[in-house]
Amino acid sequence: MRVLVVSQYFWPEVFRVNEIVSELRARGHEVTVLTGRPNYPGGQVFEDYAADPAAFAGYHGADVVRLPLRPRGQGSVRLLLNYWSFVFWGCLLGPWKLRGRRFDAIFCFETSPITSALPAVLLRWIKGAPLLLWVLDLWPDTLAAVGMVRSKLGLNAVGALVRFIYKRCDLILAQSRSFFPAIERWSRAPAKTRYFPQWAEAIFDGDMSGVAVAPELAPHAEAFKVMFAGNIGDAQDFPALLAAAEATRARPDIHWLIVGDGRQAEWLRTEIQRRSLQTTVFMLGRHPIERMPEFFMGADALLVSLKAEPIFAMTIPGKVAAYLAASRPLLAMLDGEGAQVITEAGAGLVAPAGDGPRLAALAQRLLATAPQERAAMGQRAREYCRQHFDRVTLIDQLEEWLGTTRIN
């Protein structure tokens, strides 16, 4: 099968689309990736790529076709230019760079922005191949939730764009079941929506008990370590997380560790100083995905949070599957389907979204919990991940959809 993957984000950026490509290649399929220059999350083109772009023209045997994407940089204006540069170059250069190539299916990886699907829509028409869209972020709902677009007129305009895209997809894959009503509101075609959640990355497949703890955690060896790993952004509600940390300031035995980077990292660094939380909250920087097991194994609880917005209550954060696979208790501050997964799994404790004081109380409660019970939470987490978020099973299903979907 010849598959075209269209994604604004791709290796060496760390997204699950990378594993879709490597898994399809391992199964013998011919895969081509149309993407941009890697610059997420720091906002600057990766130094290794800038020094030798040719070294990033292939991935596990897949042909990687790069577009001259404008880096994200800092600030909302540059972010918008980044979004639209992928659309512009994808529609202008994409068909030219892919001329003469035929495809049996097109798969579009759609995290923000929804506009990244427009080149895939054009290529569907040019190539005559069915388009499967994996929706990981709901627009216009997310734009309203993070305050990027506030006017009703603007949100309706984005909604019209979403309707245009959805109507030209042959199958729409939703990362949570809660996404279905919102997707179907714009697509008007319930029959073409399928559930396709995120999974734990392959690095969490093996026996985690033998993984060495990251040396960066040595200064925190005597503390109860609550670890957040991933994007430091607006959606993760760091003001509420800092409120939780402030509520445990008098507990020097609780350390809040932040592993990652993102657009709010500098704000977070400044706030830690301003609130005098230097002995409570620690930013450990961004590290390769391959090292995450080292960090997770040194944590006493893995932290996930989302803002108190209806759109985020529909979302299962991608890190939840990885956390579950790591066999560690989860500490969460979120609502909806993500909270339901953790509760159903018996994998940890959940505070309502935005409730920093409640999160602080749960952190102290988890610290007071017997080590044997925390270990049992971790084991239940891993077993739930195996049952519900198994990568091989999910990509088996995707492979079937790619082979059987036809243009509507």
- My answer on whether omega of the bond before 71 falls inside 30° of 0, hence cis, is no
Instruction: Look at residue 211 in the predicted model and tell me its pLDDT.
Output: 85
Burial class (CB within 10 angstroms; exposed 0-12, middle 13-18, buried 19+) of 286: middle
Handedness of CA 316, 320, 324, 325 (dihedral sign): positive
Q: At what angle do helices 118-127 and 76-92 cross, to 10 degrees?
A: 10
Instruction: Look at residue 340 in the predicted model and tell me its pLDDT.
Output: 95
How many whole angstroms separate alpha carbon 209 and alpha carbon 115?
42
Regions in the chain scoring below 70 on pLDDT? 143-151, 154-155
Domains of the chain, start order? 2-199+390-404 (3.40.50.2000), 203-388 (3.40.50.2000)
> Measured in whole angstroms, how far is the alpha carbon of residue 407 from the centre of its chain?
28
Alpha carbon of 99 to those of 14, 44, 65, 94, 102: distances in Å? 28, 29, 12, 8, 8
How many whole angstroms separate alpha carbon 159 and alpha carbon 271?
35
- φ and ψ at 293, to 5 degrees? -55, -35
Q: What is the DSSP letter of 327?
A: T
Count of alpha carbons within 13 angstroms of residue 274, beta-carbon side: 9
Alpha carbon of 30 to those of 6, 9, 53, 171: distances in Å? 14, 20, 22, 21
296 contacts 302 by C-beta, under 8 angstroms: yes
How many other β-carbons are positioned within 10 Å of the β-carbon of residue 155? 16
Burial class (CB within 10 angstroms; exposed 0-12, middle 13-18, buried 19+) of 371: exposed
How many whole angstroms separate alpha carbon 227 and alpha carbon 319?
12
280 contacts 356 by C-beta, under 8 angstroms: no
How many whole angstroms separate alpha carbon 229 and alpha carbon 227?
6
Residue in the structure block whose two tokens are 């603007």: 154
How many whole angstroms separate alpha carbon 43 and alpha carbon 5?
23
How many whole angstroms separate alpha carbon 253 and alpha carbon 61?
48
Q: Which of 83, 87, 71, 137 is nearest to 110 (CA)?
A: 137
Q: What is the DSSP letter of 242?
A: H
